[in-house]
C-alpha cells in the first residue's frame, strides 16, 4: 500500500467534502459521521462526478444524475439508476451494477492520507 498525504485535516471539517487529485485520479474525500471516506469522484454508470451527491442516513452517496447510490465505506451500489422513474427497467438491462473504487484513509500529524494500491 502506498500512502499519500492529500490534505491538511483542518481543511475538511465534518460534513464537508473535497476532491483531490492523486496520481491521475480524482478522489472525493467525504467527512461524514466522524469518518473520512475516500472514493473515486466518478459514478461508474456514466463517469459523471459524484461530488455534489446527497449523503443518505445510512452512509451512501447518491449520484446527482440518475441517482444510483454507493456505500461510502465499500463503494458497493445500494441503488442503481433510479432516475428518471422507470429508467432502470430500460437501463438495468444494458447497464450492469458496478461499484465505485474506494480507498483507505488515515489521519496522522494533522494530515489526511489516502492509501493506493
Ligand atoms: S451517472 Fe451516476 S447514475 Fe448515471
CATH number reported for the structural domain that contains residue 47 in this entry: 2.102.10.10
Atom of ligand 1 nearest to the CA of 48: 1
114 lines ligand 1 (CB under 6 A): no
| Structural contact between residues 60 and 82, judged by C-beta atoms closer than 8 angstroms | no
Q: How far apart are the first and last CA of the chain?
A: 5
What does the pLDDT look like over 31-47, one tens digit per residue? Answer: 999 999 999 999 999 99
CA 41 to ligand 1 center in whole angstroms: 12
Q: Which domain holds residue 26?
A: 1-114
Quote the pLDDT of residue 117: 83
Quote the pLDDT of residue 36: 98
Q: Report which protein residue has its CA nearest ligand 1's atom 4.
A: 66
Inter-CA distances, 76 with 4, 9, 79, Å = 24, 26, 9
Q: Confidence band (pLDDT; 50, 70, 90) for 115?
A: very high
Atom of ligand 1 nearest to the CA of 80: 3
DSSP labels, the chain: -EEEEEEEGGGS-TT-EEEEEETTEEEEEEEETTEEEEEESS-TTT----TTPEEPTTSEEEPTTT--EEETTT--EEE----STTHHHHHHHHS---PPPEE-EEEETTEEEEEE-
Atom of ligand 1 nearest to the CA of 66: 3
CA 91 to ligand 1 center in whole angstroms: 11
What does the pLDDT look like over 47-102, one tens digit per residue? Answer: 999 999 999 999 999 999 999 999 999 999 999 888 887 776 666 566 789 999 99
**How many domains is the chain partitioned into structurally?**
1
CA 110 to ligand 1 center in whole angstroms: 34
Amino acid at each position: 500500500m502506498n500512502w499519500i498525504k492529500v490534505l491538511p485535516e483542518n481543511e475538511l471539517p465534518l460534513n464537508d467534502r473535497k476532491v483531490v487529485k492523486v496520481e491521475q485520479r480524482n478522489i472525493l474525500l467525504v467527512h461524514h459521521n466522524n469518518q473520512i471516506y475516500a472514493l473515486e469522484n466518478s459514478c461508474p454508470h456514466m463517469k459523471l462526478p459524484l461530488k455534489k451527491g446527497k449523503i443518505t442516513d445510512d452512509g451512501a452517496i447518491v449520484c446527482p444524475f440518475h441517482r444510483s447510490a454507493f456505500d461510502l465505506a465499500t463503494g458497493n451500489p445500494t441503488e442503481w439508476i433510479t432516475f428518471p422513474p422507470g429508467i432502470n427497467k430500460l437501463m438495468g438491462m444494458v447497464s450492469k451494477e458496478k461499484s465505485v473504487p474506494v480507498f483507505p484513509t488515515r489521519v496522522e500529524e494533522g494530515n489526511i492520507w489516502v492509501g493506493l494500491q
